[in-house]
Amino acid sequence: MLTETRTFENARQSRNSTLALISIALAIVLLHVLTNGRYGFHRDELQVLSDARHLDWGFVPYPPLTPFVERLSMGIFGLSMRGLRMFSVIAQAAAIVVTGMMARRLGGGRLATIGAALAVALSPLPIFEGTEFQYTTFDFLWWTLTAYFMIRLLESENPRWWLAIGATIGLGLQTKYTMMFLIAGIMGGVLLTRVRRFLQSPWVWGGMGLALLIFAPNLWWQIRHGFISLHFLQHIHIRDVRQGRTSGFLRDQFLVCTNLFAAPLWIAGIFGFLRSPRYRLLAWMYFIPLLLFLAGKGRGYYLGGAYPVLMATGATMSERWLETLPRLRRRAIEATFFVGLAALGIFACALILPIASSGRLMDLALKNNGDLREEIGWDELVGTVAAVRNSLPPEQQEDVGVVVGNYGEQGAIEILGPAYHLPVPISGTNSAWLRGYPVPPPSTLIVLGLSHGYVDKTFVSCRVAGYTGNSLGVQNEESEEHQEVFVCGGLQKTWPEFWKTFQNFG
């Protein structure tokens, strides 16, 4: 009778924690749905949307999964910002649920499950990942899922879980190449722990084969294109180091990747895995990527997907520790933790989310969040280009091309331009360069996003016909750099000669 009572009580607590977990995820979904339509598309989103219209097995800046997902989104939602960002929101909600599930698999109860889920939900990076559709959003989910499947493998010692791990890694490789760092962590962890005995199992090699099979189309695309993404990544890394974007890596682990009040959880999680012979591999899955990113000067957010599993085990350990304390002291610690976590989470939301469309909250967000500033002014830019086109004589309007200097302008003209009947833009940035220029080429060119000096050296008979900017006076790349919009009569070189020199990465 006592055993049946305990079983019933455990089942009831499990149902309650599951409902709480789902409620947290749904609250995050609702928060993003209410705010994701406020401003405009981010310049990175415009690039993904452009690539989504030209599906291939690879793109210069990233593997093909994210553009493929956005192609599906466009088919379902059109150009609705809320709709197009929905898969990112779902991915972040899923990561929150999986975090709670990891805490439960590690022996955590209701407090650990809810605490781990809230620690992830209220951290700055996960909050941000639900505001835009970018490859980093899905990359975060794949890291989290890989850790969950690894827990299932180590818990059950059933080697069939290697297939799930391999499938998730394959999807990760089709999303973002930093998945290679997680693979290094897994391989190192296998060799450094007793998990190496699994190397004798065919399921390990089956999982590796499955990952390679999923990744193979993109790998073949890279081979055919001379590993162009490697050149892109080298260029971007040099730029990031030069501009100081890689400084503060360790600081960002506390202030960007995680909620500062959750630091005791994930730090405890590291020590918990190190002390556990069964789960020690998970510690190496964190330490090896951490050391590689430190040595290679990676950006702070690259390691963000490694923290949910640390939060899960840290919350489980904390729950057990709290159970040893007197009731009053335990309640005080719990209240302090959740209030602090919520306070910092709300502050992060104020800085990251487009909560307000005007007023002080909007000013606060735009002042402190460069990504939100890059969502402002794209409709106005496209309208300016259309106005310049409309000012041309009818014979020039019939044979006009739009040459752009960066992928944000290229995506804006391609995605938003059809409403103004603008032609497909001519761009040398990233994957757009591979698509080439129109044949026959246009005789009149509207040129934007390029310096006055470059325009004078490259084109003929140019005049300034307009300026980019935005009515809100927000300072971003389009309002501060190369504001002139030119009308030019053609090129000083032939188009094939020009195209060889027009390629750039950004």
Both 382 and 437 in one domain: the answer is: yes
How is residue 42 annotated by DSSP? Answer: -
Both 382 and 346 in one domain: the answer is: no
146 belongs to a structural domain: yes
The residue type found at 4 is E
Residue 13 pLDDT: 63
Residue 286: φ, ψ to 5°: -95, -50
| Pairing state between β 444-448 and 400-404 | parallel
Both 340 and 387 in one domain: the answer is: no
Report the C-alpha gap between 7 and 187 in whole angstroms.
39
Burial level of 120, CB count in 10 A (0-12/13-18/19+)?
buried
372 belongs to a structural domain: no
User: Half-sphere exposure of residue 241, counting CA atoms within 13 Å on the CB side?
Assistant: 11
Helix (H, G, I), strand (E, B) or coil at 504: strand
361 belongs to a structural domain: no
Query: Across the chain, how many H-helices and E-strands are there?
Result: 26, 6
Report the C-alpha gap between 213 and 63 in whole angstroms.
14
Final residue of a structural domain among 314, 335, 352: 352
Judge if pTM exceeds 0.75. yes
Give the pLDDT confidence of 416-443 residue by residue, as tens digits: 999 999 999 999 999 999 999 999 999 9
Cis peptide before 308 (omega within 30 of 0): no
Both 426 and 321 in one domain: the answer is: no
422 belongs to a structural domain: yes
Residue 11 pLDDT: 57
Both 341 and 391 in one domain: the answer is: no
169 belongs to a structural domain: yes
Give the pLDDT confidence of 475-484 residue by residue, as tens digits: 999 999 989 9
359 belongs to a structural domain: no
Both 387 and 334 in one domain: the answer is: no
Final residue of a structural domain among 352, 370, 397: 352
Among candidates 415, 416, 477, 418, which has minimal Cα distance to 448?
Answer: 477
Contact between 179 and 167 under an 8 Å Cβ cutoff? The reply is no
Q: Which residues contact 48 (CB under 8 A, 6 or more apart)?
A: 66, 67, 70, 133, 134, 135, 411
The residue type found at 367 is K
Both 489 and 387 in one domain: the answer is: yes
Q: How many domains does the chain have?
A: 2
| Pairing state between β 484-488 and 444-448 | antiparallel
The residue type found at 397 is Q
Residue 3 pLDDT: 47
Helix (H, G, I), strand (E, B) or coil at 178: coil
Both 341 and 384 in one domain: the answer is: no
Among candidates 110, 187, 118, 115, which has minimal Cα distance to 146?
Answer: 187
H-helix segments, 160-248: 161-173, 179-192, 202-224, 228-242
Q: Which residues contact 201 (CB under 8 A, 6 or more apart)?
A: 159, 162
Helix (H, G, I), strand (E, B) or coil at 486: strand
Among candidates 382, 374, 308, which has minimal Cα distance to 122?
Answer: 308
Both 309 and 413 in one domain: the answer is: no
Q: Which residues of the chain have pLDDT under 70?
A: 1-13
**Domain carrying residue 414:** 378-502
Contact between 203 and 163 under an 8 Å Cβ cutoff? The reply is yes
The residues pairing with 429 across neighbouring beta strands, listed in sequence order, are 504
Would you say the C-alpha torsion 423, 428, 433, 436 has a positive or negative sign?
A: positive
Both 276 and 327 in one domain: the answer is: yes
Helix (H, G, I), strand (E, B) or coil at 73: helix
The residues pairing with 210 across neighbouring beta strands, listed in sequence order, are none
Tokens describing residue 298: 């990676």
Both 199 and 344 in one domain: the answer is: yes
Residue 243: φ, ψ to 5°: -85, 0
The residues pairing with 491 across neighbouring beta strands, listed in sequence order, are 459
Q: Which residues contact 115 (CB under 8 A, 6 or more apart)?
A: 103, 265, 315, 318, 319, 337, 338
299 belongs to a structural domain: yes
Contact between 429 and 410 under an 8 Å Cβ cutoff? The reply is yes
363 belongs to a structural domain: no
Both 308 and 452 in one domain: the answer is: no
